[in-house]
Amino acid sequence: MASIDSERRVLSAMRPIGRLHLGHYHGVLRDWVRLQHEYECFFSIADWHALTTEYAETDGIRQHVWEMAVDWLSVGLSPSAATLFIQSQVPEHAELYLLLSMICPLPWLERVPTYRELQERLSHKDLSSLGFLGYPLLQAADILIYRAGQVAVKAEQQVHVEFAREIARRFNHLYGGEDDFEEKALVAVSRLGKKGARLYTSLRKTWQEQGDEEALETARALVKEQQSMTLGDRERLFGYLEGGGRVLLPEPQALLGDAVQMPGLDGRKMSRVHDNLITLRDSDAEVVEKISRMPTDPARVRRHDPGEPQRCPVWQWHQLYSDEGCRKWVEEGCRSAGIGCVDCKRPVIEAVRLELKPIQERALDYEDNPELVRSILAEGAERARESARETLVEVREAMGLAYR
C-alpha cells in the first residue's frame, strides 16, 4: 500500500444511459485503451450517476450497464490491464460521499455550472433532488476514494475535476493537521538518509522561497522513489513541501487526452440528444442506411451541380476516415461535379464498417458468454474495493471515527 503512486493512477467513468456510439469511441474509449497501458487505470460504470437523472425510469439501467461492459471489452479495454467495475458494487464510494458531504458547503454545489445547465436542459424531469445536487460530490468521491491523481475526462468535465480538487484541499486542510506535524515531518525527512534529507530540504526551500515548480516536482519525485517508507511518512513529506499538514487525499488533475470530436450524421457533434449517431452495434445495413441519408452540400441538387466539401458533413467524416489520396479525390470530384455524393460516401461507409466489424465480432463473443462479463466486473469490483478500503481506513481515522 505504501507503493500507491497517485500520479500514475487514473480514474474515469461513464454513465450507463444509452448505447455507446462512435462519438464515445473516438472521443473517449480509444484514449482509455491507450491509457490502460501507460497508467494504473480504474474505469467505472457509474450507475449511481445514472440514477441522479434517471431515478424515475430505472428499467433501462441494468441493460445499459451490461451493454456498456460488453462495448468496453469489445473496443479493447482489458481486465488484465485495467480495473473495470460497476460503481454500485463498490459501496465504499457511498461512504466517502457521505463523509465528504459533511464538509461540502452547499453553495459550492449550487455554483457548479452543469447543475443549472442540466436542470434547464432536462426541465421535463424534476431534478430538485439532493442526489442531483450532489452529483459533483459523488464524482469527487469516485476519484478521491482511489487517491487517483489523474482523471481522464473531456474538457466539459473539467469543472467537476476542479470541484474534486477543492473538496480534497478542504479535507486535507481540516483533517491533515497533526499537533506535532512539524516534528513528525522532520523525523520523516531524516528517514530519507543523509543525502536524501539534504536534497529534500534544499528543494523545499527553493520551492517555498522562490516558487520554483521544478524544485517541487523534483522533491515529489524524490519522495515517490522511497521504497520502504510508510504511507504516513510519505504523506507528511508531501504535505511538508506545501507547508501544510498531511496530504490525505491528493488533489486530482484532469487528463485531457488527444481524443477527437466525432461529427454526427448531420455535422453537429455526435450525441444522443441530437439523434445523429451510429452506435457501436449498428448493423452493416444500418450503417449504409444512415450514411446514405446524410445531408450533403445543399448546392448539389443535381448530379452535375458542383459542390464545396467545406459545406458538407460527409467531408468531416472523410477527414477522420480517409487518407490523403481519397480526400483529394473528394475535393476535386466534388468541386468539379466529377463524382456524385453516392460515390463520395462509399469509402466512408466502408471505413466505418471496417472499424465496427472487429468490435462487433468481439461483442458477439462476450454476449455469448455473459458469465465471463459478470466475473470480469466482479473481479474488478473486488480489486477496486481493496484500494477503496485502504483510503477509507485513513479517512475514518482522520475524521475521528476509528474505533479500535
In the complex with ligand SF4, the residue whose CB is nearer, 191 or 327, is 327
**DSSP-assigned letters across all residues of 342-366:** HHHHHHHHHHHHHHHHHHHHHHHHH
In the complex with ligand SF4, the residue whose CB is nearer, 316 or 360, is 316
Contact 31, 45 (CB under 8 A): no
Cell of 139: 464524482
> Strands 9-14 and 40-45, how do they pair?
parallel
Residue 21 C-beta: closest distance to ligand TRP, Å: 14
Among ligand TRP, ligand SF4, none, residue 174 binds (CB under 5-8 Å by kind): none
Among ligand TRP, ligand SF4, none, residue 157 binds (CB under 5-8 Å by kind): ligand TRP
Residue with cell 477527437: 260
Stretch that binds ligand TRP, among 2-10, 11-19, 123-131, 207-215 (CB under 6 A): 11-19
In the complex with ligand TRP, the residue whose CB is nearer, 77 or 153, is 153
Q: Does 46 bind ligand TRP (CB under 6 A)?
A: yes
Cell of 10: 487514473
Q: Does 349 bind ligand SF4 (CB under 6 A)?
A: no
Q: Does 6 bind ligand TRP (CB under 6 A)?
A: no
Contact 360, 73 (CB under 8 A): no
CA neighbours closer than 13 Å in the CB half-sphere of residue 317: 27
Cell of 43: 474505469
Q: Does 49 bind ligand TRP (CB under 6 A)?
A: yes
Say how many Å lie between the first and final Cα of the chain, rounded: 21
Q: Does 88 bind ligand TRP (CB under 6 A)?
A: no
Among ligand TRP, ligand SF4, none, residue 165 binds (CB under 5-8 Å by kind): none
Taking residues 127 to 166 in sequence order and writing x for each that binds ligand TRP by CB under 6 A, - otherwise, the string is ------------x--xx-------x-x---x---------
CA 302: distance to chain centroid? Answer: 45
Cα–Cα distance, 237 to 200 (Å, whole number)? 9
Stretch that binds ligand SF4, among 43-51, 213-221, 341-349, 383-391 (CB under 6 A): 341-349
Q: What residues contact 188, with CB distance under 8 A and at least 6 apart?
A: 229, 233, 234, 236, 237, 240
Residue 319 C-beta: closest distance to ligand SF4, Å: 11
Among ligand TRP, ligand SF4, none, residue 13 binds (CB under 5-8 Å by kind): ligand TRP
